Amino acid sequence: MEKLDYLFDFIKRNYLLSKKQEEFKLVSNHWDVFQNDFEKVIDNRKIWERMLRNSLTLGFNDALSKISNERFIEGNYSLWTDLKKNDFPDLVFDISDDIQRDFHLKLFRYVAEITDLTFLMKNCITDIGMPQKVEIEIKQNAKTVKLNCNLHDLTDIYHSWLIQKYSQTFSVNSPIICEIGGGYGGLATKVKNIFPNSKVIIFDLPEVSAVQTYYLSRVFKDSIIFGMEDFMKMGASILNQDFDFLILPGHIISKLLSKYSVDIFINVRSFMEMDFRLIKFYFEQIQNSLKPDGIFACFNRYEKGIRRKNSDKLNINRFVDYPFDEKWSVKYSEASNLQEHIHLLIANREQSTPRLQFKNFLKSIKYNKRNIP
C-alpha cells in the first residue's frame, strides 16, 4: 500500500472508531458544525492538499478568519456547516496586494524582535496544506534566505517561544506534552521542534483530529503517530511506547492520564469556545495529571460569547472564571503582543497551596485595550 493510501486509511479508521466510542458529546454548540458523514470528506483526497485554503480548517485557521467571522457578524450561524460540505473550494488566494504584504513583513519583524530571529527562522511554516503566505527574504552570513510566513503561523511561533522560555528549568529529557484543542497542528509542530524527544498528545474533536493527523504526518514524514485504534489495543500503557504524536478524542483524556503523568499542558484559544461543563471537565483532568512544577500554558480570550443551542442568547466565557484550584503559581501573565483580546497565562503546578491565593490573582486579570504595532 502506498504511503498516502495508508495515511488516509489510518485517518478514516481512527475517525470512525472515535465516533463509535464516543461516550458523551464533548462538543459545544460553537463547534457542532461538521457533517455526520465526515468519512466522505476523508475520501475526497484532493481537498486535503489545499486544506489551509479551504473550509477543512475553517474556524481554526486565522487565514480564514475574515470568512469565519461572518458567522457572527452577519448572524449567519449555519455558515460554517454550509461551507464544511460539498466541494470545499479555496476561500483565500495568494497574497498579492502591497498592504497585506507590508502588514506581514512588519509583523514578521515585530515577532523577530520580541522573540528570537534564529528561533523564528527554524519554525516558519512549510508548504503542507498550501497555506496562504508571504515570502520574506532574510540576509544572513552573506546569503539570502527565503522564508514563508502568515499571521497564524507567526502567532504559533510566538506562543511556542513563550512555552520554551518558561520551560527552560525542565530536567525531563522526554516530556509528555498535552494540547487540548490543537487546531490543524501548527502549534504542535513548533512544540515538537522545540522538544524533539517529547511525546505530544492532542485531544480534540474527531473531525479536527483527522486534520491534525494528516498535517503532522506530512510535516514529520518519519514520525510515529498513534491514534484511537492504538489506544483501544494498549489502553493507558500506550504512554510507555515510543511515539511522537498521539491524537485522540477529548473524552479519552480521563482514561489515558494518571496522576502526575504530564509535564506540560497547552490550551490556546479553545477553552473560550467551550461550554463551561467541558471547561470544568478538562480542568479536572489537568489538575489531576499535571506533575508538580509542570506548566500550563492557557492562552485564551478575556471573554467570549458562545451562542446557546437553539437560541440567540449567549453564554459568556470569561478567563477569570476558569476553574483553577489554589495549587498554582504564576510564571507569566500578560496580554498578547499580537492579539490584545487574548490573555497569555503560564501557570506552574504546585504540590501545596502557595501563600498567594491564585483565585485572587485571577480576579486581577483585566482587559485593557491598547495599540499593538
Q: pLDDT digit string (tens) for 297-323?
A: 999 999 999 887 777 788 899 999 999
pLDDT for residue 363 is more than 50: yes
Q: Over the range 239-252, which residues count as b (16 or more CB within 10 Å of their CB) and which as e? A: beeeebbbbbbbbb
Residues 6+ apart with CB under 8 A from 107: 149, 151, 154, 338
Three-state secondary-structure class, residue 174 = coil
The model's confidence at residue 29, banded by pLDDT at 50, 70 and 90, is confident
Tell me the helix, strand and coil percentages in the chain, rounded to 5.
45, 20, 35
- 260-265: average pLDDT: 96
- 124-139: average pLDDT: 95
pLDDT for residue 371 is more than 60: no
Is the pTM higher than 0.75? The answer reads: yes
Tell whether the torsion through CA atoms of 282, 171, 111 and 143 is positive or negative: negative
Q: What is the pLDDT of residue 373?
A: 41
Of the ranges 32-36, 83-87, 88-92, 257-261, which one carries the lowest mean pLDDT score?
83-87
- 130-141: average pLDDT: 92
Tell whether the torsion through CA atoms of 178, 183, 184 and 189 is positive or negative: negative
Using one digit for the tens of pLDDT, what is the confidence trace for 200-222? Answer: 999 999 999 999 999 999 999 99
Quote the DSSP letter at residue 241: S
Within 10 angstroms of residue 259's Cβ, the number of other Cβ atoms is 9
Residue boundaries of the structural domains of the chain: 3-90+155-363
- Rounded distance between C-alpha atoms, residue 353 and residue 343, angstroms: 24
Q: What is the pLDDT of residue 356?
A: 81
Q: Specify whether the CB–CB gap between 188 and 179 falls below 8 A.
A: yes
- Bridge partner list, 345: 298, 333
Residues 6+ apart with CB under 8 A from 246: 199, 200, 201, 202, 225, 226, 227, 230, 231, 238
The model's confidence at residue 1, banded by pLDDT at 50, 70 and 90, is low
Tell me which residue of 302, 60, 32, 281 sits closest to 186, measured CA to CA.
60
Q: Specify whether the CB–CB gap between 217 and 223 falls below 8 A.
A: yes
Q: Tell me the DSSP string of 60-85.
A: S-GGGHHHHTHHHHS--TTHHHHHTS
pLDDT for residue 197 is more than 90: yes
pLDDT for residue 12 is more than 80: yes
Of the ranges 55-59, 174-178, 308-312, 352-356, which one carries the lowest mean pLDDT score?
308-312
Of the ranges 196-200, 265-269, 306-310, which one carries the lowest mean pLDDT score?
306-310
Of the ranges 25-29, 41-45, 285-289, which one carries the lowest mean pLDDT score?
25-29
Tell me which residue of 267, 283, 247, 59 sits closest to 159, measured CA to CA.
267
Pick the CATH number of 3-90+155-363 from 3.40.50.2300, 3.40.50.150, 3.40.1210.10, 3.40.50.300: 3.40.50.150
Using one digit for the tens of pLDDT, what is the confidence trace for 67-77? Answer: 999 998 877 88
> Which percentage of the chain shows pLDDT scores above 70?
97
For 7, 106, 110, 199, 338, the CA distances from 148, given in Å and listed in that order, are 26, 14, 15, 27, 18
Q: What is the pLDDT of residue 22?
A: 82
- Rounded distance between C-alpha atoms, residue 154 and residue 105, angstroms: 11
- Rounded distance between C-alpha atoms, residue 296 and residue 347, angstroms: 5
Q: Specify whether the CB–CB gap between 294 and 263 falls below 8 A.
A: yes
pLDDT for residue 169 is more than 70: no
* Residues present in the chain in total: 373
pLDDT for residue 114 is more than 90: yes
Q: What is the pLDDT of residue 312?
A: 75
